[in-house]
A and B are shown apart, each in its own frame.
Chain A
Amino acid sequence: MKALKIILFVLVMGTVSSVMLVGVNSFTQPLIFKNEEVKLKSAVLGALEITYETGSALAIFNDKVRVLDAGKTEFFISRDGAAAFEFYGPGLWGPISGVASINPDLKSIKAIKIVSQEETPGLGGRIAEHGFLKQFRGKEFFPRLVFMPEGKSSAVNEVDAITGATGSSRALERLLNSVLQKNAGILKEQLNNR
């Protein structure tokens, strides 16, 4: 009898709290989806270097960006032909995700934005800083993008790595090389097919 009472209590409590949470969820879900959409689209606009204001990201995105769905990858193409896409892969401590954009020649980088990373703050964490990312502008990723020791980069496919963050630099180098070359190939095919 006592055991029955306990089971009944647990069942009732579980049901009540579940019903409450379903209510909260259905109320907040649309807002959360919208926040995620705004975040992605703002990052894409940032990578394509289209200026926008905080409230107007969605409208400007719909106006100026064309979405090309290539199966696994979605490409976001701006009016001048530059294409942006999301990338995602392992860093040194945790996943790195971001948005990269390439110029219409499909050989060089327009911009790289890091959306989230968990590298060491102040060392590897600097991969997300503007000062580090701006050096990627116009760099070519064929045959491959090379991270050089800080201050040694000179060729058109070389950028400076971060001193003291060899692991994070290498992880980012590997990630960018694989994703840029692969996506440039896919995009070329897609554009030729049309």
Chain B
Amino acid sequence: MSPKKTVKRSFRNAKWFKALIAGLWQDNPTFCMVLGLCSMLAITNRMDNAIAMGLGVTFCIVFSSLLVSLFRNVIPSRVRMLAYMVIIATFVICVDRFLKAYFPPISEELGPYVGLIITNCIIMGRAETYAIKNGPLLSALDGLGCGIGYTFMLILMAFVRETIGFGTLLGYRVMPGSWVNWVVMTIAPGAFFLLGVYLWIFRTIAKKTEA
């Protein structure tokens, strides 16, 4: 009944929990690994776009990590990149068709960026650094953590950009009628400034907790 044993039993130290939580904070794809920024700058101008994109990317990461991990002993190492690409592309096309069929307005707003999830480094990165070496359950959880971490940043960006760029939130007017929209926030340069500010804030906090 020593305190050490209770710590061991706690889920906080379990492998699956660590895999899941890594992507949320200390290995967050955006402000720690700084990956997947292209789509982040492009589609965070509105909240609904950000949520759709976040869900799409999360879906693709979870399932491509799961498949890569399941077949990690079958995939010949010389063509592993090719295998990642085919697996990722399959899921991305599924997401694209799904959005086109059931949510045409969102699909139109996101435009080519749904297809470009294929080139999102986060997915490829998780496949190469994690899924190819770990079991399917852990890989899927790791992917889920990264996907949620990415979605979280997308939502934070979209929250500020839509509020001050369009004066709305999820399409509902939140700013007073006299509010003058900051057009710069709706285009990519505004997103760059905002992303810089967020990176600054999060890196400062992270440094303190890491030390």
Contacts and interface: CB of A to CB of B under 8 A. Distances in A.
B76 A5 contact: yes
Contact of B101 (A2, A5, A35, A121): A35
Contacts of B87: 13, 17
Interface stretch (B13-21, B77-85, B136-144): B77-85
A2 B78 CA distance: 10
B90 A20 contact: yes
B170 interface: no
Interface stretch (B91-99, B114-122, B146-154, B196-204): B91-99
A130 to B, nearest CB: 16
A28 B100 contact: yes
A155 interface: no
A119 B186 CA distance: 13
A25 B104 contact: no
A11 to B, nearest CB: 11
Contacts of B187: 120-122
A32 B76 contact: no
B100 A9 contact: no
Interface residues of A, number: 22
B75 interface: yes
Contacts of A6: 76, 78-79
Contacts of B104: 32, 35, 39
B79 A9 contact: yes
B183 interface: yes
A28 B104 CA distance: 12
A67 interface: no
B184 to A, nearest CB: 8
A21 interface: yes
A59 interface: no
B86 interface: yes
B78 A28 contact: no
A70 interface: no
Contact of B98 (A2, A17, A28, A120): A28
A17 B102 contact: no
Given A24-B94, A28-B101, A122-B183, A9 B76 contact: yes
A22 B90 CA distance: 11
Contact of B74 (A9, A14, A120): A9
Nearest to A7: B79
A61 B187 CA distance: 36
A186 interface: no
B42 to A, nearest CB: 12
B108 to A, nearest CB: 8
A150 to B, nearest CB: 17
Contact of B93 (A14, A21, A123): A21
A23 to B, nearest CB: 10
A31 interface: yes
A10 interface: yes
Contacts of B89: 17
Interface in B119-136: none
Interface of A: 2, 5-6, 9-10, 13-14, 17, 20-21, 24-25, 28, 31-32, 35, 39, 116, 120-123
Given A9-B75, A116-B108, 9 more contacts: A9-B79, A9-B83, A13-B87, A17-B86, A21-B93, A28-B101, A35-B101, A122-B187, A123-B183
20 contacts: A2-B76, A5-B76, A9-B76, A9-B79, A9-B83, A13-B86, A13-B87, A14-B86, A17-B89, A20-B90, A21-B94, A24-B93, A31-B100, A32-B97, A32-B100, A35-B104, A121-B183, A121-B187, A122-B181, A122-B187
